[in-house]
Structure 1
């Protein structure tokens, strides 16, 4: 497979990313390799990680990374596996397992398992947790109150929907499209629709505090739905997946307009930055090294980045590492799990 490069540009909302694209001479621009990184919508954890990754790479290496915040996680995996795009920051262990086995949203893609063989990891990171947000005056206080409501559970083809809808059903018995209305829109459209009052409940897997939800909470009182204490096994449809666990959202993390008086129990997810196995080893080594060596400065300004650490770089990882990433992690003294070493790095 031949990796396809792109030289197109796009408008990036983040000033961080824009800063990495300015100040280049023509000769410098021509000397650089240009790569595309697919990620989720503006304000999501993968989007924040992507913009920081691109900014660091663009300012500290001879390569350039352009962020494209369109599409869903499974779509990003397929385009990266095919070499149409070079990175995805939304490759979760759950998506990896479904792609590997040709299940879930990949059942209609006969070559899914073969494409999965093209995927290689750079690092894992905590995506955050599933925020189930409602306005405090909506009358919705528990998952049971979602009956008959307009609910955004994620884009139609994304992994979020495959998580939220089984979660709601496990807690309440409610079926999507029967007991509550599922709204079919994108991440960006959903955040705006929720702010405009056109959604009763808005689910978003993201680090806390989320930029979007912080903005909403500045002008509105909001509540986050909490998973009730249930018998072990009742949530197995969700917690049985790779990289999923129950976590707590602090009661005051969104300030005085968050009406929760106790932590809200939710689902925490691990996700990862992935690339194609045909990406040059030297390029991935250089990018990985630059990212981790310049991350601390970004973490000071961006709370969403503070959970990223070399201590958890392999957490829940179930896809082989790229040799370039392995080279860096060995250089800094990390022990590489044997099951993550690909044939080309043996």
Structure 2
């Protein structure tokens, strides 16, 4: 297998042979898989895929790392520093147009070409969560409050701040927007150090379930009719049911919010055959992946697996879909 980054190779003794020599055989080549924080939908998806790949694909071992922002993971994958990743059409759009965190990165449009999609799925609704006793009843009440909108430089933060501005007129400077990663923000909310936390995740979310074990929480309704939701970059309109987080969720009715279609992708440096075998293992062992969470069967589906192809499929994934007889839609492209 041909790769541009150095990977660890583990060996195991397979038995003594004549003359007392020991023969060693390569067990698996290690591939780096990046994700955002544990408890978030992409982490659950990527770890479920890794479990399947590590047991069903010979010679391939996935190792999941949940550090940093997805915007950085995309660049790392394009540069061959990581292999498989949680991706997003929004990030493709930002890179291809030198927007947001890529404004000063001249190479971003070219780097965007270095990642190919494997399949798409719904990351879930953006949960705007506050303590029930915070006095915050609507998004307008976030003025002057400590708010976690997303990791610094992350796509989620930009999405949240744009939507809050469209819905309420509040700008980042009108709130105390805290600079945390997802892990630190989840802990800070648990410790009552921030007033509102916004988490894009399928429900029920393990992180939010933990909040509801120790405190009463309120999910804030988002007036989606005021938002500029762009389906081309994966934007969706979502609803979170009342009571999904048990008796400590004080909402009397469902709340509206926005969501996003995201994806599982690979760097274009990853060997086509490896991605072919990974893609094949995912769809041939879908029942195993669905066991990872209650929401998984309605999230990872063959019907929506190619629902939004961001820029391009990885050649290995495309070969699998063509051989399996899938209908492959035209990719959505984002460059000027």
TM-score by length of 1: 0.87
Q: 124-133 vs 251-260, which deviates more?
A: 251-260
Give the counterpart of 1:218 among 207, 213, 218.
Answer: 213
Q: List aligned pairs for 1:97-112, cutoff 5 A.
A: 97-112=93-108
Summarize the alignment of residues 179-328 of structure 1 with structure 2, pairs less than 5 Å apart: 179-228=174-223, 230=225, 234-236=226-228, 238-239=229-230, 242-306=233-297, 307-328=299-320
Q: 1:228 to 1:64 in 2, by over 3 A?
A: same
Cα distance change, pair 85–26 in 1 and its aligned pair in 2 (3 A): farther
The CA deviation string for residues 89-140 of structure 1, in whole angstroms up to 9 with x for no partner, is 1x11111111112222111111011111111111111111110000111111
The C-alpha deviation readout for 1:234-259, integer Å capped at 9, x for no partner, is 422x5476110211111121112111
Q: Does 1:332 align with 2:324?
A: yes
The superposition leaves residues 18-54 of structure 1 with CA deviations (integer Å, 9 ceiling, x where unpaired) of: xxxxxx9556983311110111011111111111111
Q: How does 1:3-152 map to 2 (within 5 A)?
A: 3-7=4-8, 25=12, 30-62=26-58, 63-89=60-86, 91-152=87-148
What SS does structure 2 have at the residue aligned with 1:208?
coil
Structure 2: how far apart are the matches of 1:130 and 1:97?
20
State the TM-score, normalizing by the size of structure 2: 0.90
Higher helix content, 1 or 2: 1
- 2:73 aligns to what SS in structure 1? helix
The answer to whether the Cα contact below 8 Å between 1:155 and 1:187 also exists between their aligned partners in 2 is: yes
Contact 2:202–2:295 (CA<8 Å) still a contact in 1?
yes
Counterpart CA distance in 1 for 2:73 and 2:292 is: 28
Deviation at 1:295, TM superposition (A): 2.3
Q: Encode CA deviations 1:129-181: one digit per residue, 9 max, x unaligned.
A: 110000111111100111110000011110111011111111111111x2110
- Separation in 1 of the partners of 2:13 and 2:97? 46
* Structure 1 unmatched ranges of 5 or more: 10-23, 342-346
- State the distance in 2 between where 1:212 and 1:239 align: 27
Match of 1:161 in 2: 157
State the number of aligned residues: 321
For residues 29 and 60 of structure 1, the distance between their equivalents in structure 2, rounded to whole angstroms, comes to 18
Taking only aligned residues, the RMSD between alpha carbons, in angstroms, comes to: 2.1
Q: Conserved in 1, the CA contact under 8 Å of 2:163 and 2:227? A: yes
Segments of structure 2 that go 5 or more residues without pairing to the other structure are 15-23
Distance in 2 separating the partners of 1:5 and 1:246: 42
Q: Say which is worse superposed, 107-116 or 296-305, in terms of deviation.
A: 296-305
